[in-house]
Amino acid sequence: MSQTAPQDVFMEEVRRLRAAYEKQRDSTNLVPPTGRPVLDNDIDIVDGIVYHTYWYERTSNTAADSQGEECQVVRLADIPGTLSGDILRLERNLPPLDPGGDYNIIGDDIHRLVNPPPLPCFEDDSEDISAALASLPEIEVDPDAHFIKKGKYATEIQNLLACQGGSCPGVPKSAHVIRLLGKSLYGELVFEKFTPRYVLAAVHPLSKYKAWILQLIDGLRCLHSLEIIHRDLRIDNLVFSRDNSRLLICDLESRWGNRLAPEISRRPVLDAGWTKKSDIYDLGMTIKGMIYGNTPITNLVEWHAPPPLDDIVASCLRISPEDRPSLDEVYDMVENIKIH
């Protein structure tokens, strides 16, 4: 009887981890498909306790009881080992609640929420980027070859140009950072067309993840060498060549971003404390997202990374920024993974 090859063992472990998460994901009533539609959610800190607030769509038969409010608000305190903490970790479900009311669930206590926060309404903070666009060549867009997006911030154009020698289309400093080709007739940013992150939905051999992670680190090293903090590194901001051999980092706005690293402020401010070390924290989360082919419902879900990536991820996710490895150290750890 033949032995299972190590790469097969790795792939089987990834499938097992994905199946376990999908079981949690499909059974929780915190969000659909089992739970009601979520209009928005937010995280804030009150008296040192992290609260996750969910705005749920109300059913039509509860509109009268809720004075016409369009949503029900449920705030959950992140207190591990209690009802609210377990709900956020998908280990228990929301208890039955009067759909006409709003609620605080703090530990094991459930209270009516007085003066619930309104549904967030985010204003478009796009800048006038006409001056930055003026320096870009105009490209005749081919839908089969190009991807276009409306630029919102001058920093994105500045960051992109810095990564390609200061000109457009320029010479890329890394093959793993998206290259800006120019602007369209209507002022959109034009890029080469790549495959979105949905290639990660399949389970791949360890050798493929190793190659992608090394490329991801290479792209991030390029950004950091130019003093660019990505701020929003996640699988949604990765694209792939059509043959899946090359990974590239995209969306270099460096404006709003992840608030996963513990040192980052949860307040909706631009100066939230993003640094190269918070990018490394996000790198650890992104590696897990690549393995699972998804993003977690909450950042409290326990997503275990399979060996031999578990120690690498754990080092990136250390609580203290000073304890996290440098990108060169992470690269070496990944490079030293033996493929059999």
Per residue of the chain (340 residues), what is the pLDDT tens digit? 333 447 789 999 999 999 999 999 999 999 999 999 999 999 888 888 999 999 999 875 544 444 446 799 999 999 999 999 999 999 999 999 998 899 999 999 999 999 999 998 877 888 999 999 999 999 999 999 999 999 999 999 999 999 999 999 999 999 999 999 999 999 999 999 999 999 999 999 999 999 999 999 999 999 999 999 999 999 999 999 999 999 999 999 998 888 888 998 877 778 889 999 999 999 999 999 999 999 888 889 988 999 999 999 999 999 999 999 999 999 999 999 998 7
Of 290, 262, 264, which Cα lies nearest the Cα of 275? 264
H or E stretch including 9? helix 6-27
The CA distances from residue 84 to 46, 74, 76, in Å, are: 15, 11, 5
Evaluate whether 197 touches 238 at the Cβ level (below 8 Å): yes
Of 162, 191, 183, 290, which Cα lies nearest the Cα of 233? 290
Q: Domain residues of the chain, as ranges?
A: 47-120, 137-192, 198-335
CATH tag for 198-335 (out of 1.10.510.10, 2.40.160.10, 3.30.70.920, 1.10.3720.10): 1.10.510.10
